[in-house]
Amino acid sequence: MMRKGDTMKRDTDVLIIGGGPAGIVCALTARWNYPEKKILLMRDVERGVIPCGIPYMIASLEKPEQNAMSYMSLEKQNIELVVDRAVKIDRRNRIVHTESGNDYRYEKLVLALGSNPILPPIPGIDKKGVYSIRKDLNYLKDMVEYARGCKRVLVLGGGFIGVELADELSKVKGPEVIVVEMLPHLLANSFDPEFSELVEEKLSSQGVKILTGTRAEEVMGDERVRKVRLSTGEEIDVDCVILGVGASPNTKLALDAGLELGKGKGIWVDEYMRTIDPDIFAIGDCAGKRDFFTRKDAPVLLASIATAEARIAGANLYKLKVLRESKGTIGIFSTYVGGLVLGSAGLTENTAKREGFDVVSGKAEAVDKHPSVLPGAHKVLVKLVFSKEGQALLGGQVAGGMSCGELINAIGIAIQRRFTITELETFQMATHPYLTPPPTMYPLVLAAQNAARSR
């Protein structure tokens, strides 16, 4: 494997820039579909991390490095790996220039450039003790070690990353944890209030202080953070600030090469992940997304979406071998907070109404085993949102035990296949006392029936 400092000029057939989940899956898919091609994957950090596992480096994992990305599957498939940073794409000659002075000539280029953490324009945000979420193992190990030794940690942002960080930090003996979110509820972009409130109750019960409807306006201190001034005027003593405010697509390399962005911030791609240059593809966080229902820009950055796009691109690099299309981004999320599992797919009721949909919704509660006194049984809450006239499923939310992790995926399939109220009312399912709710009280069916009654 080549590393930074080694200089070379060489040709390859498929060059993939980006060593995250999208890059890995694209490389493997390309190998399966084009076994005769030379494939090279370039990543810019020596030791990357599994993105979804970043919060769990704080407490759940015994050692932070247990969340390191593995590239063994690529080496076994004769996919070459290099550690270097691409700095320029020469589209005319199909050459990528790198930070180390290396040149790579390609036939097909895949940009899996990922995203950059958002740094809000807050005075003092660059002080020591303020950490963003970077996908670099050494940086994150430093963050974890520092945060564990603090008396008070402020997590800025109440989305998924912020909520999961707060949950993990609450398990560490010592730090007091505060979450600051400018919206009225945590996870407000992905859940309706009744589900957000479940998360807030869970974190509060673990000692986390939650400040919603509040902004951080200044990070105060000398070289190191000492206080944070809030929009309420309050100044809070803190030792550490972790920025969980999201990320934006990394598009500079593409823009410098003359590639176009879509209506949002991501690189424009067609249904097969091709950019305006037929020899260059873009996948994952750096690629533009379009909403499944409205076709508007959908800035949803998920590894599950990235790997789906990677399979589409990897299979169709040289020709459209199979009809694999990107139908738009549904947005399927799940999280785990203090033993509570929540999932969301498609549009929430609030979002659907803001977009102008005429909707009906139905809720149902059941226990995920039957009889409910079986060991390990959990109550499950399901909410389904349908279009009022066409009856198509627009979205769903779940909360409960571990079974909800796959229950939300079933709802995602139903959205993608445009299931109606009637189809979910007559849904045929496998049931077992230890594995599912009873067939008489299956929550997906009951929620659909309740939606039908409210029409």
Give the pLDDT confidence score for residue 75 in this predicted structure: 87
Segment 278-295 shows an average pLDDT of: 94
Summarize the chain as % helix, strand, coil (round to 5): 25, 30, 45
Segment 427-431 shows an average pLDDT of: 93
pLDDT at 2 over 60: no
Q: What is the pLDDT of residues 155-197, one digit of tens each?
A: 999 999 999 999 999 999 989 999 999 999 999 999 999 999 9
Work out the angle at residue 13's Cα, subtended by the Cα atoms of residues 8 and 14, and round it to the nearest 5 degrees: 95
Task: Give the relative orientation of helices 160-169 and 193-205 as an angle to the nearest 10 degrees.
Answer: 20
Measured distance CA(287)–CA(276) in Å, rounded:
12
Give the pLDDT confidence score for residue 36 in this predicted structure: 97
| Mean pLDDT over the full length of the chain | 94
Give the pLDDT confidence score for residue 325 in this predicted structure: 62
Segment 38-56 shows an average pLDDT of: 92
Pairing of strands 379-387, 393-400: antiparallel
pLDDT at 54 over 90: yes
Segment 141-157 shows an average pLDDT of: 96
Q: What is the pLDDT of residues 309-350, one digit of tens each?
A: 999 999 999 998 767 666 789 999 999 999 999 999 999 999
Contact of 400 with 378, CB cutoff 8 Å: yes
Task: Give the relative orientation of helices 303-315 and 21-33 as an angle to the nearest 10 degrees.
Answer: 20
User: What pTM did the predictor assign?
Assistant: 0.91
In this prediction, what percent of the chain has a pLDDT beyond 70? 97
In this prediction, what percent of the chain has a pLDDT beyond 90? 87
Q: Which neighbouring-strand residues pair with 17?
A: 42, 111
Give the pLDDT confidence score for residue 410 in this predicted structure: 96
Measured distance CA(14)–CA(40) in Å, rounded:
6
Written as one letter, the residue type at 97 is: H
Residue 6's pLDDT band (cuts 50, 70, 90): low
Smallest CA-to-CA distance from 171 within 156, 153, 157, 158 is with 153
Q: What is the pLDDT of residues 363-421, one digit of tens each?
A: 999 999 999 999 999 999 999 999 998 899 999 999 999 999 999 999 999 999 999 99
Q: What is the pLDDT of residues 74-125, one digit of tens each?
A: 989 999 999 999 999 999 999 999 999 999 999 999 999 999 999 999 999 9
Residue 264's pLDDT band (cuts 50, 70, 90): confident
Smallest CA-to-CA distance from 239 within 174, 158, 164, 154 is with 154
